[in-house]
Structure 1
Amino acid sequence: MSMASSGIWHITYLDMTIRILVALLLGGLIGFEREVNNHAAGFRTHILVCIGSATIMLLSIYGFGDFAKELNVRMDPARLAAQVITGIGFLGAGAIIRTGSYVSGLTTAASIWVVAAIGLCVGAGFYYGAALVTFLVLVSLFIFNKWEKYLLRKFRKHEMSIEIYDRPGLLGELVEKLSEQGIQISKMSVQPNDEKEERKRTVLVRFNVKVPQADRMVRAIDYITAFEEVLSIELPAFSGYSKAASS
């Protein structure tokens, strides 16, 4: 093996420092958006994932450069990078939370996974690919997120749970308040709440609803909580909304 070919397995301290700092910057940009929106994995988590992936990529390519000159040694720069892609799924899974039929944290888990890919790109010196992916991720998180909420809100069904004291006619009054605000109910279930020991019997009512506008849902919730028999309302799709009715 010639000296020229063996030189590809070595990197200067300056170049290594630049790659780590670029990974910190790109990971921080995506993590900042997650932090602003109060997600489980935020600014520091994304930075750590990105620079960690870049470091592993650097180690995979250059960490064993001293062995490149040895006979019968074959270098594989992707050997450690492949383990990052597999292992990062465990970290992403920790950000996923399920509440009833509503699942949150999928976007954050995906952002962690793509930040790991960005870090690997930076570690390999693939700056253009890393910068392009970072730009597209930010567009997806900032712009597509608003577009999705604006256009798809009326097509999606959300689960709404209301805990109430069992009173004849109350359920019909709640449905009427929702209908007045243009909220469509596609499915409803009622089950006794055996977890609490109350003098009055309580039930848990679950609705699958379509919400045309967020402000209408807010008004409907205000009307519903005005009932003395309503104990609490939960609407996880609205950023984990939970409200206890005042007694």
Structure 2
Amino acid sequence: MTHVLAAMDSAHGQGWRQLGELLVAFVLSSVIGLERQFQGKSAGLRTQTIVGTASALILIVSKYGFSDVLQPGTVVLDPSRVAAQIVSGIGFLGAGLIITCRGAIRGLTTAASVWETAAIGMAAGAGLPLLALLVTGLHFVIVFAYTPLGRLMSARGQAERTYTITYEDGRGVLRDLLATCTSHSWTISSLDIADRARTQSDDHRVPLVMISLRFHGRGADAATSTLAGIDGVVRVDQGEDEND
């Protein structure tokens, strides 16, 4: 019994306090993971929970894992050095979640959420549960309150967006696209022909053209319906979604 109590001594890093800190990290990171899973993101429930719980464990190991080799005046360790490596390590994981496709950058919010989950786990592992709880609450403020606010500001501001537009060739659609941009005071930054293809439509081979169009101006963030309404446009894909 004495050995069990000694093993559960908080001073040695394996007490009820440390168990509670790990559980706090597990619960809070799971909450963020559930939100990401609900949004259908690549870093969902399992990824976020593993990142947060593992970060808390690494920080606890950093604080208590070397106590048996410490000797005053001889062996001195800085517990913050191990914790600092968590930030660098999570940076590599986040970089793998960021995808660039046809000029559109996706995954920034997901990568940032993984970094945030690691910070929450570190706070829990450091014995700062109130800060971990606060940041978890602020995560939902950012996701659910700031997303529509950001879209509103983009619609009213000078947003810059990239659209991949597929249209039927030979119908003057490109001319109409440029005229639409001019009428809405959208300034075109770049226009590239991405691909040429053919598709079956009404038993006739209809040539299609796919272009990448980047422009900025008021309302550019919500131009999908406007561009799709042009006669001859087959498909419009918007890049750089803020809710990534």
TM-score range, shorter chain: 0.7 to 0.9
SS at match of 1:27: helix
Q: Percent identity?
A: 31
Confirm whether residue 166 of structure 1 aligns to residue 169 of structure 2.
yes
- Check whether the contact 2:102–2:212 (CA below 8 A) recurs between aligned residues: no
Give the Cα–Cα distance (whole angstroms) in 2 for the partners of residues 71 and 174 of structure 1. 74
Q: Which residue of 2 aligns with 1:157?
A: 160
Residues 25 and 211 (structure 1), Cα distance of their counterparts in 2 relative to 1, 3 Å cut: farther
- Check whether the contact 1:186–1:207 (CA below 8 A) recurs between aligned residues: no
Gapped runs of 5+ residues in structure 2?
A: 1-8, 200-204
Q: Which residue of 2 aligns with 1:77?
A: 79
Matches within 5 A, 1:86-97: 86-97=88-99
Deviating runs (4+, > 4 A) in structure 1? 196-202, 213-216
Q: Which residue of 1 aligns with 2:195?
A: 193
What is the number of equivalent residue pairs in this alignment? 227
Q: Which residue of 2 aligns with 1:124?
A: 126
Give the Cα–Cα distance (whole angstroms) in 2 for the partners of residues 179 and 85 of structure 1. 43
Gapped runs of 5+ residues in structure 1?
A: 1-6, 241-247
Tell me the amino acid that sits aligned with residue 212 of structure 1.
Answer: G
Residues 215 and 146 (structure 1), Cα distance of their counterparts in 2 relative to 1, 3 Å cut: closer
Q: Which residue of 2 aligns with 1:33?
A: 35
Residues 193 and 75 (structure 1), Cα distance of their counterparts in 2 relative to 1, 3 Å cut: closer
Tell me the amino acid that sits aligned with residue 77 of structure 2.
Answer: M
Deviation at 1:109, TM superposition (A): 1.1
TM-score by length of 1: 0.76
- Check whether the contact 2:154–2:218 (CA below 8 A) recurs between aligned residues: no
SS at match of 2:211: strand
Q: Deviations over 1:52-93 (max 9, x none)?
A: 000101111112222235771213221211111111101000
By relative contact order (CA 8 Å, sep 6+), the higher-ranking structure is 2
Deviation at 1:192, TM superposition (A): 7.4
Confirm whether residue 100 of structure 1 aligns to residue 106 of structure 2.
no
Deviation at 1:215, TM superposition (A): 7.4
- CA RMSD in angstroms comes to 3.2
Residues 231 and 148 (structure 1), Cα distance of their counterparts in 2 relative to 1, 3 Å cut: closer
Deviation at 1:22, TM superposition (A): 0.3
- Check whether the contact 1:159–1:237 (CA below 8 A) recurs between aligned residues: yes
Give the Cα–Cα distance (whole angstroms) in 2 for the partners of residues 208 and 215 of structure 1. 13
Q: Deviations over 1:4-61 (max 9, x none)?
A: xxx8741344222211110011112222222222222112211110000001011111
